[in-house]
């Protein structure tokens, strides 16, 4: 997988697609996020790692316009933006694929793919979905992501977990997303399915999207990531480019990484 990912590091001439500067978010006196900074480049994958409660979901929700940030700045193409709603973020090209509510299981693949922005034909009273076109494009776009759907009429519920995530990813990519936020896409999946989703993540980056990949699994993050933001209790533990950190260090930095190491040592002694 390493060889397929784009080379790490940021070329100095490139303005980041999305930049987060000293972001802070407070719920009453609870600090959800404090002084978090990172960058997302087109064609690169930025991984956000952290254990449960580290502030990952607050981070996503702030980026996708659900919560306005309390301090710090969001910059898109070097210009500061403020989102009033998720729709705003979507219009700016930030698409979020949530882990559990990405698709409607009882609807067919093509209906899911186009949901909310269906291609239409005909004039008003008889305005209807252009079904052949919708099916064709859905099939083509999914194939570009490397998913060969047998029949776009089959319901999404019959797809595997990884394929469902990929339908959502392909959809976001097609609808002009520039930054794709993936909320724990691999957490509910088995090893093979996770590998499938990781492949789609790399595929999305190769198509020049900036990807923010949220996960608690460094094993999933390291092979695909170009930049790693590690969160713990709402604070940034560091924001590294790939050449600045190894997988072992990454694991250790994660909350629990040190504890796991201690555990290993302890077990080794007692055996």
In this structure, what token pair is assigned to residue 269?
Answer: 């002694």
The CA distance from 172 to 165, in Å, is 11
Q: Which of 8, 43, 72, 86: binder of other proteins (CB under 8 A)? A: 86
Give the burial string for 109-131 (b: 16+ CB within 10 Å, else e): bbbbbbeeeeeeeeeeeeeeeeb
- Phi–psi pair at 177, nearest 5 degrees: -65, 140
Quick check: 176 binds other proteins (CB under 8 A)?
no
What's the min distance (Å) between Cβ of 210 and other proteins?
20
CB of 247 to other proteins, least distance (A): 33
Q: Which stretch binds other proteins (CB under 8 A): 76-84, 128-136, 201-209, 254-262?
A: 128-136
The CA distance from 244 to 227, in Å, is 9
Report in angstroms how near the CB of residue 181 gets to other proteins at its nearest.
12
* CB closer to other proteins, 214 vs 255: 214
Question: What CA–CA distance (Å, rounded) separates 190 from 172?
Answer: 23
Where in 97-126 is the site for other proteins (CB under 8 A)? Answer: 98, 101-107, 111, 114-118, 120
Give the C-alpha separation, 32 to 129, whole Å.
43
User: Judged by CB under 8 A, which stretch of 4-12, 34-42, 147-155, 256-264 contacts other proteins?
Assistant: 147-155
Q: CA nearest 216: which of 36, 66, 57, 94?
A: 57
Check binding of 154 to other proteins (CB under 8 A). Answer: yes
* Interaction between residue 133 and other proteins (CB under 8 A): no
Contact residues toward other proteins (CB under 8 A) are 86-87, 90, 96, 98, 101-107, 111, 114-118, 120, 127-129, 131, 148, 150-151, 154-155, 157-158
């Amino acid at each position: 997988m390493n060889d397929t990912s784009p080379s790490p590091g940021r070329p100095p001439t490139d303005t980041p697609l999305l930049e987060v500067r000293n972001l802070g978010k407070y719920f009453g006196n609870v600090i959800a996020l404090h002084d978090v900074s990172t960058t997302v480049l087109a064609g690169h994958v930025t991984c956000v790692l952290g254990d449960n409660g580290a502030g990952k979901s607050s981070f996503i929700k702030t980026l996708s316009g659900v919560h306005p940030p309390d301090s710090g700045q969001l910059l898109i193409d070097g210009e500061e933006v403020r989102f009033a709603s998720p729709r705003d973020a979507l219009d700016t090209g930030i698409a979020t694929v949530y882990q559990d509510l990405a698709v409607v299981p009882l609807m067919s693949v093509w209906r899911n793919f186009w949901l909310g922005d269906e291609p239409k034909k005909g004039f008003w009273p008889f305005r209807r979905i252009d079904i052949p076109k919708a099916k064709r494009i859905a099939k083509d776009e999914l194939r570009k992501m490397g998913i060969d759907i047998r029949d776009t009429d089959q319901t999404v519920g019959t797809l595997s977990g990884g394929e469902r995530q990929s339908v959502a990813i392909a959809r976001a990519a097609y609808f002009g997303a520039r930054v794709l936020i993936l909320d724990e896409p691999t957490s509910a999946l088995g090893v093979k399915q996770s590998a499938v989703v990781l492949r789609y993540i790399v595929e999305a980056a190769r198509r020049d999207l900036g990807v923010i990949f949220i996960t608690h699994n460094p094993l999933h993050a390291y092979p695909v990531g170009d930049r790693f933001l590690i969160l713990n209790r709402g604070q940034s533990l560091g924001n590294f480019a790939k050449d600045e950190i190894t997988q072992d260090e990454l694991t250790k930095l994660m909350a629990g990484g040190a504890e796991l190491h201690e555990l290993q040592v302890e077990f080794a002694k007692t055996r």
